[in-house]
Chain A
Amino acid sequence: SQQGEEDPQALSIQEGENATMNCSYKTSINNLQWYRQNSGRGLVHLILIRSNEREKHSGRLRVTLDTSKKSSSLLITASRAADTASYFCATDAGGAQKLVFGQGTRLTINP
């Protein structure tokens, strides 16, 4: 079963705009990760945030984590056409070694 739920399920914006995706989860976690999947391609790891961290940056990516609300957000600034992909959050669901993924947000960047 899936633990995380991404919101929105689909998002379409203009190139250059910022994109925000949200993820909610159900159980306690040690860390939360975001992955990107381009159409027909593999999953690429973007960023990992630990349960004792509230915010993390990597290039144009900013991730926040609110463990009290069991939620995380991924912000992509100054979007590019190449950012078009599906984005998934994944948690370690109570410290287990396996990852539990959400259903993903399909992001489309329009030129």
Chain B
Amino acid sequence: GAGVSQSPRYKVTKRGQDVALRCDPISGHVSLYWYRQALGQGPEFLTYFNYEAQQDKSGLPNDRFSAERPEGSISTLTIQRTEQRDSAMYRCASSPTRDTQYFGPGTRLTVL
């Protein structure tokens, strides 16, 4: 079956612009997670949802970052007024239970 998909795969934007990153989880998965991964590092948690409810957003770096999952399926991570330090790989994962998380291919964000 289809895995987690993310779009766009690559995004280049200018500093100060807003970006929206999309995640399509595996069908039927209750939980959806967002992580950010810097080069040479492991992923760092940003936020997660169970169904449409945002359960934990403690990893969001500041109020320029927000996420939603309005119908409990597709999720969007939005970064407002992007800065160069926001450049990273943004990864989405979904899971049917609390355990194994299945990751998408990621969106590589570059802020010029």
Task: Give residues in A with beta carbon < 8 Å to B.
Answer: 2, 4, 31, 33, 35, 41-45, 48, 88, 90, 92, 96-104
12 contacts between A and B (CB under 8 A): A2-B41, A33-B101, A43-B43, A43-B103, A45-B102, A88-B42, A99-B33, A99-B101, A100-B45, A101-B43, A101-B44, A102-B42
Task: Give residues in B with beta carbon < 8 Å to A.
Answer: 31, 33, 35, 40-45, 48, 50, 55-56, 59, 91, 93, 98-106
Q: Is the CB of A99 within 8 A of B45?
A: yes
Q: Is the CB of B99 within 8 A of A48?
A: yes
Q: Is the CB of B100 within 8 A of A103?
A: no
Contact of B105 among A31, A41, A97, A100 (CB under 8 A): A41
Q: Is the CB of A97 within 8 A of B42?
A: no
**Complex formed: what's the CA distance from A103 to B31 in Å?**
24
Contact of B56 among A90, A97, A104 (CB under 8 A): A97
